[in-house]
Amino acid sequence: MRLLKVATCNLNQWAMEFDCNLKNIKESIIRAKEAGAVIRLGPELEITGYGCEDHFLELDTISHAWECLKDLLLGDWTDGILCSFGMPVIKGSERYNCQVLCMNRKIIMIRAKMWLANDGNYRELRWFTAWKQKDKLEEFQLPCDISEALQQRTVPFGYGFMQFLDTAVAAEICEELFAPIPPHAELALNGVEVFMNASGSHHQLRKLDIRIRAFIGATHTRGGVYMYSNHQGCDGGRLYYDGCACVVVNGDVVAQGSQFSLKDVEVVVAQIDLDAVASLRGSISSFQEQASCKRFVSFIDVPYKLCQPFNLQMSLSSPLKISYHSPEEEIAFGPGCWLWDYLRRSGASGFLLPLSGGADSSSVAGIVGCMCQLVVKEIANGDEQVKADAIRIGNYTNGQFPIDSKEFAKRVFYTVFMGSENRQPENKSSDATRSRAKLLSEEIGSWHLDVSIDSVVSAFLSLFQTLTGKRPRYKVDGGSNIENLGLQNIQARIRMVLAFMMASLLPWVHSKPGFYLVLGSSNVDEGLRGYLTKYDCSSADINPIGSISKQDLRIFLRWAATHLGFSSLAEIEAAPPTAELEPIRSNYSQLDEVDMGMTYEELSVYGRLRKIFRCGPVSMFKNLCFGWGSKLSPSEVAEKVKHFFKYYSINRHKMTVLTPSYHAESYSPEDNRFDLRQFLYNSRWPYQFRKIDELVKELSVDKDASSSSTSDGVGIVAAGSADPKAGL
């Protein structure tokens, strides 16, 4: 037996906060050593933080990373343990994303990333160059002060592996795992048994399974130990890095860390028999044949043993059942942890939420309530950092700290129901939302206010009447569409102004220090359709649900009513969504889906086709003819597609000022970095809509042929399904 103990970790790093990052790195090494591990793997770019973005272009960032590495190497941190540290390195005139592999106070080699992540939220090619010299390792001259301190002038740089006396170890950096021909394939043929993947992977709903299947696939058919380390938390932007550090052996997960946590440091340890890797490889004929004619990969000899012989005192790690969260749990815990990181690092004293009693704002309230529960639970489990942060934020004194989530929520969370003439008790619907908001605030424990904005609205309208001599009326009272929209926008924007005013002044009123962050509550589908007022309550400091679909939020509400103890959320979920910006009459009640001219379910389909499957108007029409052909004619499908693209393009400009939102959905229209498109369109789409009309005309000539092609079941959307999401 060759027994090897390895440690990988989730670290809650903060971009450009070198003291915090170095502290977490050192704590992870301490825990790895205490567990007896001889390999410690940290996440990608852990020294600087992954989300530094254009700060990577600053020489200061590179210099500070080297200074932190020197601190680690001059101490005893790497004594007797192989450590992989992530940091940017400049070689010549190029900047590389690197893993610096160190042991016994020396740098063994610097492994430069070869395949950079450059899609979706990732922009690595903006800051780094991909390493292209794959046939050899080059000598890299260390910076002068590092060289003098370590008494080491040069180190091997590039692509290769480390050959120890008893095993071979190599690094594979994040995106490289998902490349068409990943490095671990040829490294395994060269005898590498242990792979270390340092990653900076963010949370996205239903994504974890894809990642873990990749780890399993990397070792299932070729054998090996696959170590995975990731960031965990909000490091300064829209993304939440969702941890899940793990160790996989020959296709079996033997150790797995948490996906969502308030911890700054989590270390995952596994005890492995490397002979099991050699045995599996020796039993696969195709592996043996390919290894006999492999392409040579450069390596560095390291005269040191990592393994221990057979020892009954050391038990082997057994395969585990992989732990996955349901989408409802992901919505609760991911944004909840992200909010906590943002709160404790922003200097704010809490959150303020305009709570309408509708599904969206109630979802945000439920997530904040979940955050408070997580904080109290983590304190009860002995996390001193969470406790210290909670004491500071909640303004506790005399040795007190949170022991009850409702009491903690009362200190850090304001909710405000902003009523108007369209939200009055005589309107049963409006009275229901008011009472739901109040009941939910009581269940969570927030400091709740009920405010009427009628006097402010009236003041604005009186001013307008003084200036113009005209007073606008709602459509139900005989006004035009322009008047109707203007009156709705006044209410919505007044609520935004009042929310920010109360967030800055209410802490002073209640003798609390600091300021409160305003939370937004528009969902991803409303953003996609533009069904929101520019600079209304969707405009806030941050938005935990801005990239979550309405359908997923409704599932979350049902789950949270039971599992978080906020039972009023069940009633809120069952109510039809409404903006309550127009007066309610006996023959009229404003409803979101009627206003939009499409359902939230349809919006999710449009969003996925537009973003995930990269469909323009014509391609979307063709796909939906398959997906909806059993219930809609081609002309009806055409009208729906045109209606969506018309309002999508008219309202795209709103995305330029969208509140920074937690990223959770693969079809998010977020304009800052994920969905980069113009915001000035010809909303008539003359060329594209003309092509659709031509197709409709062709299809209508032979309806029988159209029916036949629909039943064939070809296309992205499952044919003949009554569910427009089927097959997506």
Q: Which residues are catalytic?
A: 44, 113, 174, 356
User: Residues 205-225, buried b or exposed e (16+ Cβ, 10 A)?
Assistant: beebeebbebbbbbbbebbbb
Distance CA 491, CA 458 (A): 10
Q: How far apart are CA 564 and CA 444, in angstroms?
A: 9
Q: How many whole angstroms separate alpha carbon 133 and alpha carbon 124?
A: 18
Sort strands 94-103 and 413-419 into parallel, antiparallel or unpaired: unpaired
**Burial state string for 588-598 with b = 16 or more CB within 10 A and e = fewer than 16:** ebbebbebbeb
* Residue 509 identity (one-letter amino acid): V
* CA 19 vs CA 13, 24, 26, 46, 187: distances in Å: 10, 9, 11, 12, 35
Question: E-assigned strands of 74-142?
Answer: 82-91, 94-103, 106-112, 137-141
CA–CA separation, 656 and 678 (whole Å) = 10
> 689 is written with which tokens?
């809509």
- Reading phi first (left if > 0) and then psi (alpha if -120 to 50, else beta), residue 223 is in left
Nearest one of 84, 102, 291, 317 to 187, comparing CA atoms: 291
Number of H helices and number of E strands within the chain? Answer: 24, 20
Please give the Cα distance from 679 to 683 (Å, whole number).
Answer: 11
603 vs 595: CA distance, rounded Å = 13
- Spatial neighbors of 369 by CB under 8 A, at least 6 apart, are 405, 409, 413, 443, 444, 445, 446, 564, 566
Q: Report the length, in residues, of the chain.
A: 728
Q: At what angle do helices 481-509 and 454-468 cross, to 10 degrees?
A: 130
Nearest residue to 390 (alpha-carbon basis) of 360, 412, 410, 367: 412
422 phi and psi angles, rounded to 5 deg: -90, 0
- Return d(Cα 46, Cα 25) in angstroms, integer: 8
- Compute the Cα dihedral for 8, 12, 17, 21 and give only its sign: negative
